[in-house]
Amino acid sequence: MNHLIEQAGLGDRIICDSAGTSSYHIGAAPDRRMSAAASRRGIKLKGQARQFEKSDFETFDLILAMDRENYRDILSLDPTGKYRDKVRLMCEFASHHSEREVPDPYYGGPEGFNKVIDLLLDACEGLLQYVVTTYSISV
């Protein structure tokens, strides 16, 4: 997503961050296999893993889950439902792929990472259009 935001010249108006719902890999760099799949598409992955925090509900206008399990984990941190409308599934924004959840490629081979990158690029393109339109961001 950050790659597309920068390509559109919107880095000063849109902030995108990533966080997991579990404590695995906190502080780790992006998976080397995912980095390789992204690199083949001209995308450089940056950052380090962090865990989703309750304060993220206040910090961000939109919170995206990769799958239904992550979706439920995020909503469990909001027992009153105050932020429920901010939480969506990433694949809701995909227009060229029929998957409704992003599969976990961790235990698969390179093809799984390639598939996830393609799915996420599709979803992120739709997401960027949604954000620009919904939040009236001029391109």
What are the structural domains of the chain? Answer: 2-134 (3.40.50.2300)
DSSP conformation letters of 56-121: HHHH-S-EEESSHHHHHHHHHT-TT-TTGGGEEEGGGG-SS---SS----TTS-HHHHHHHHHHHH
User: Judging by beta carbons within 10 Å of its beta carbon (0-12, 13-18, 19+), is residue 35 exposed, middle or buried?
Assistant: middle
44-100 pLDDT, tens digit each: 999 999 999 999 999 999 999 999 999 999 999 999 999 999 999 999 999 999 999
**Model confidence band, residue 17 (pLDDT cutoffs 50, 70, 90):** very high
Rounded mean pLDDT, 12-27: 94
pLDDT of residue 107: 87
25-49 pLDDT, tens digit each: 999 999 999 999 999 999 999 999 9
Asked if 90 contacts 63 with a C-beta cutoff of 8 angstroms, the reply is no
